[in-house]
């Protein structure tokens, strides 16, 4: 079930030595290590695309091929094509991206004389990605895209982010720029820039924040001075710019937030500008523009991605959208990016789970409390210990449940963009707006929990860098921060997505959950879970109503409960997804090799061990804000 690594480390009292596990011959020793006799082996992280899990959702639970037939304005995708796409991106990510994950983390990006070099192998992998047409999967055919549904692109992004998060961010940033230009750009901008972005020869970025403002982009100071020819000179400094400078493509298209002369203060005075690294000339590039990389941030994780400080020194740019309406353009990019970050969290759960599950079956330590399970071995494999099972099942349940939630969001994104009926499109857009902060915030929060579980299962071997497991913890940590922290997602959820429309969208979603629960009422194996989930869904609406009422009296009540409300929302939605998966698994006919039974057992674990977390969350949501705010600020000082 779990892939075994070809390369392992021999751990001895004096150090470690790499060797080829298949040929049983040593590889060159690691620097500073001693070659000594073998004591035991530690498996390096290995990865195998969970194709059966993915296809179970795509075909059995959600019927994506049938869903695609109900869309308009996209290329048709039948079951055979969907499976073919999945097979090909799985092959690419397993064979070309995953092997670069650990080496890219150790090498990182290098800045020399203003030029950024990505880790060895990154450029070749990107060229193969471009040659495969993956950069253009969901783009409009008019501008060089393949015209496939948005959810197909989500599958590609899931697997690139799972196998190599730092690498996957390069094409993901380009995808965000494409979305913004397709919706807000002029025909001329689309013709010049979208064609190159779809082709993958040019890449994109989002240049939003500055040293003094963090997430509060209303404070940006970057200036845009209009020129007689309709262009603008952009001057300012942007920080934390992912993929801001690199050697993967011939040009980089920066989408920059800046202020026009006399613009209103705050977010009402923000405009967006298209600023290329090289100015277009003919069908290629011309002179270097006035944008440069001042430094690469020294980061905790995602070392293979160049996170840059960019200086714009009178760089020539062009307005995207209307003057002072840059926030609208920004959120086009941000909302898509937030879903991608949710997939990043999901991917890190999956990758860390696979590594820790394989390790738990091989690592021998102590005996089972109930007596030896492997009496012919010096100790039992640690997978026999209940707490190891707790951590593994937590990862498994949240990976599979989180994937189901992400795919449901993908369905809604398709309908919002390409649904046949206008009312259907509007309803789906409201749902995807509601789901976006939950997918981003919940999946990244539980990803940090799950990657830490993986490290804990590895024990001391997880804490050292050679085995690669601690990289998942470091890489995951940024996902809770960028594209809007969990706190920002939570305020967006309760404020803009729930209370702003009087809870109508939430009520409609709760109605869908209730319908599933009613369908399973009295079901022998699932009836009790359905009754429990129905009560939680009802409580979800009640909590929102109560919080809205308290917030009208004191807005701090909303801020004090927002993150707990987001997490409550995530647990309920993943519970709904698990109920649907368990229903489908129990309905499966034919020979079962344990896959469907495993689904039911994992779903049962979710309901019995993870969904009860809602009880604590409900209590803290109902508690008053004075628990947080009554202590004077000066009392926090030491």
Evaluate whether residue 103 is within a structural domain.
yes
For the residues 608-626, what does the mean pLDDT come to?
A: 97
Looking at residue 213, its pLDDT comes to: 83
Using the 3D structure, point to which of 269, 297, 326 is the last residue of a domain.
326
Classify residue 157: in a domain, yes or no: yes
Longest dimension (CA), the chain: 84
Q: How confident is the model at residue 41 (pLDDT cuts 50, 70, 90)?
A: low
Decide: 79 and 59 in contact? Cβ < 8 Å.
yes
Domain endpoint, select from 299, 326, 353: 326
235-239, 506-510, 521-525: the lowest-pLDDT one: 521-525
C-alpha dihedral, 490 to 494 to 497 to 503, nearest 10°: 150
221 and 293: one domain?
yes
pLDDT digits (tens, 9 = 90+) for 428-473: 999 999 999 999 999 999 999 999 999 999 999 999 998 899 999 9
What are the Cα distances from residue 121, in Å, to 74, 126, 247, 461? 34, 9, 11, 27
pLDDT at 232: 98
Same domain, 11 and 60: no
Q: Is residue 511 part of a domain?
A: yes
Q: Place 360 in a pLDDT band, splitting at 50, 70 and 90.
A: very high
Residue 371 falls in which region: left (phi positive, over 0), alpha (psi -120 to 50) or beta = left
58, 407 contact by CB (below 8 A): yes
List 276's β-bridge partners, or say none: 253
With respect to residue 380, please indicate whether it lies within any of the assigned structural domains.
no
306-350 pLDDT, tens digit each = 999 999 999 999 999 999 999 888 888 888 889 999 999 999 999
Give residue 23's pLDDT band: very low, low, confident or very high (50, 70, 90).
Answer: very low
Active site residues: 483
Q: At 27, is the pLDDT very low, low, confident or very high (cuts 50, 70, 90)?
A: very low
Distance of CA 564 to CAs 485, 490, 543, Å?
14, 8, 11
Q: Which residues neighbour 527 within 8 Å (Cβ) at sequence distance 6 or greater? A: 520, 521
Residue 34 pLDDT > 50: no
How many residues in total does the chain contain? 638
Same domain, yes or no: 104 and 163? yes
pLDDT above 60 (res 19): no
Instruction: Say whether pLDDT at 521 is over 50.
Output: yes
End residue of a domain, out of 311, 326, 341: 326
Q: Residue 46: its pLDDT value, please?
A: 81
Which residues, other chains included, contact 65 with Cβ-Cβ below 8 Å and sequence gap of 6+?
58, 59, 77, 78, 79, 82
Helices 150-163 and 386-418 cross at an angle (nearest 10°) of: 150
Average pLDDT over residues 122-142: 96
CA dihedral 217, 222, 228, 231 (to 10 degrees): -60
Which residues, 6+ apart, have CB-to-CB distance to 495 below 8 Å? Answer: 558, 562
For the ranges 4-8, 162-166, 213-217, the maximum mean pLDDT occurs at: 162-166
Q: Are residues 177 and 234 in the same domain?
A: yes
Considering the domain architecture, whether residues 58 and 11 belong to the same structural domain is answered as no
pLDDT of residue 218: 83
Co-location of 19 and 162 in the same domain: no
Q: What phi and psi values does residue 300 have, to the nearest 5 degrees?
A: -70, -40
- The residue-averaged pLDDT of 620-630 equals 96
- 377 in Cβ contact with 24 (< 8 Å): no
Could you tell me if 456 and 472 are in contact, meaning their C-beta atoms sit under 8 angstroms apart?
Answer: no
What confidence tier does 9 reach under pLDDT thresholds 50, 70, 90? very low
The answer as to whether 460 is a domain residue is no
Q: Residue 132: which domain range?
A: 52-326
Number of domains in the chain: 3
Instruction: Indicate left, alpha or beta for 539 from its phi (over 0: left) and psi (-120 to 50: alpha).
Output: alpha
| Per-residue model confidence as pLDDT tens digits over 383-435 | 999 999 999 999 999 999 999 999 999 999 999 999 999 999 999 999 999 99
DSSP β-ladder status, 232-242 and 307-320: antiparallel
What's 165's domain CATH number? 2.40.110.20
Average pLDDT of the chain to the nearest whole number: 91
Structure tokens at 262: 């006399």
Quick check: is 582 in a domain? yes
247 and 105 within one domain: yes
Annotate 120-143 with DSSP letters as a single string: TTHHHHHHHHHHTTGGGTTS-GGG
CA 493 to each of CA 271, 559, 567: distance values in angstroms, whole numbers, following the listed order = 25, 11, 11
State mean pLDDT over 169-173: 96
Same domain, 37 and 158: no
- Annotate 269-287 with b (16+ C-beta within 10 A) or e (fewer): bbbbbbbbbbbeeeeebee
Same domain for 38 and 144, yes or no, is no
Judgement on whether residues 153 and 295 belong to the same structural domain of the protein: yes
Helix (H) or strand (E) holding 279: strand 278-281
Q: Are residues 21 and 165 in the same domain?
A: no
The Cα–Cα gap between 511 and 513 comes to 5
Torsion, CA 253, CA 256, CA 262, CA 266, rounded to 10: 160
Report how far residue 559's alpha carbon sits from residue 564's, in angstroms, rounded to the nearest whole number.
10
Residue 43's pLDDT band (cuts 50, 70, 90):
low
In a domain, 603, yes or no: yes
Position 30 scores a pLDDT of 29
pLDDT tens, residue by residue, 541-556 = 999 999 999 999 999 9
Angle between helices 165-184 and 150-163 (to 10 degrees): 150
Both 257 and 151 in a single domain?
Answer: yes
Residue 456 domain-assigned?
A: no
């Amino acid at each position: 079930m779990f892939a075994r690594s070809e390369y392992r480390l021999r751990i001895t009292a004096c150090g470690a030595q790499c060797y080829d596990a298949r040929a049983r011959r040593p590889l060159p020793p690691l620097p500073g290590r001693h070659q000594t006799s073998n004591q035991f082996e530690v498996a390096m992280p290995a990865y195998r695309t969970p194709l059966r899990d993915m296809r179970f959702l795509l075909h059995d639970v959600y019927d994506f091929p049938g869903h695609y037939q109900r869309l308009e304005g996209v290329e048709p995708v039948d079951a055979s094509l969907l499976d073919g796409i999945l097979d090909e991106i799985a092959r690419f990510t397993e064979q070309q991206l995953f092997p670069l994950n650990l080496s890219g983390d150790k090498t990182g990006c290098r800045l020399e004389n203003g030029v950024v070099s990505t880790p060895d192998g990154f450029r070749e992998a990107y060229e193969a990605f471009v040659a495969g047409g993956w950069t253009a999967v969901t783009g409009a055919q008019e501008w060089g895209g393949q015209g496939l549904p948005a959810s197909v692109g989500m599958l590609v992004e899931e697997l690139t982010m799972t196998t190599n998060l730092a690498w996957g961010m390069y094409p993901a940033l380009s995808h965000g720029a494409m979305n913004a230009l397709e919706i807000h750009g002029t025909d001329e901008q689309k013709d010049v820039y979208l064609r190159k972005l779809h082709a993958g020869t040019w890449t994109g970025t989002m240049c939003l924040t500055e040293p003094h403002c963090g997430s509060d982009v209303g404070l940006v100071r970057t200036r845009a001075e209009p020129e007689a020819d309709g262009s603008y000179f952009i001057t300012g400094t942007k920080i934390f710019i992912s993929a801001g400078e690199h050697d993967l493509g011939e040009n980089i298209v920066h989408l920059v937030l800046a202020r026009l002369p006399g613009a209103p203060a705050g977010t009402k005075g923000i405009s967006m500008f298209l600023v290329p690294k090289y100015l277009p000339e003919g069908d290629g590039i011309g002179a270097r523009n006035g944008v440069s990389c001042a430094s690469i941030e020294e980061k905790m994780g995602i070392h293979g991605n160049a996170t840059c400080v960019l200086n714009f020194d009178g760089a020539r740019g062009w307005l995207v959208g209307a003057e002072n309406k840059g926030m609208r353009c920004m959120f086009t990019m941000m909302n898509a990016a937030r879903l991608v970050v949710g997939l990043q969290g999901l991917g890190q759960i999956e990758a860390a789970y696979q590594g820790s599950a394989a390790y738990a079956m091989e690592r021998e330590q102590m005996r089972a409390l109930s007596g030896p399970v492997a009496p012919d071995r010096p100790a039992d494999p640690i997978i026999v210990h209940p707490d190891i099972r707790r951590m593994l099942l937590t990862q498994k349940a949240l990976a599979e449940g989180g994937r189901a939630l992400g795919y449901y969001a993908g369905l809604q994104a398709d309908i919002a963009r390409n649904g046949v009926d206008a009312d259907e499109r509007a309803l789906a857009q409201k749902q995807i707006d509601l789901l976006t902060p939950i997918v981003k915030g919940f999946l990244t929060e539980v990803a940090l929990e799950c990657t830490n579980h993986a490290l804990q299962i590895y024990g001391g071997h997880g804490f050292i860098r050679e085995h690669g497991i601690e990289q998942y913890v470091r890489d995951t940590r940024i996902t809770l921060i960028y594209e809007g922290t969990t706190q920002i997602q939570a305020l967006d959820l309760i404020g803009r997505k729930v209370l702003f429309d009087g809870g109508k969208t939430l009520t409609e979603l709760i109605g869908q959950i209730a319908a599933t629960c009613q369908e399973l009422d009295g079901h022998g194996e699932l009836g009790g879970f359905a009754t429990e989930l129905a009560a939680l869904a009802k409580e979800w609406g009640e909590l929102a109503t109560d919080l809205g009422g308290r917030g009208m009296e004191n807005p701090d009540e909303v801020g004090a409960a927002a993150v707990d409300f987001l997490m409550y929302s995530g647990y309920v939605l993943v519970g709904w997804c698990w109920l649907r998966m368990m229903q489908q698994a129990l309905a499966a006919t034919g020979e079962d090799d344990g896959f469907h039974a495993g689904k039911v057992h994992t779903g049962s674990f979710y309901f019995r061990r993870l969904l009860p977390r809602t009880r604590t969350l409900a209590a803290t949501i109902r508690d008053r804000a004075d628990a947080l705010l009554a202590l004077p600020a000066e009392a926090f000082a030491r």
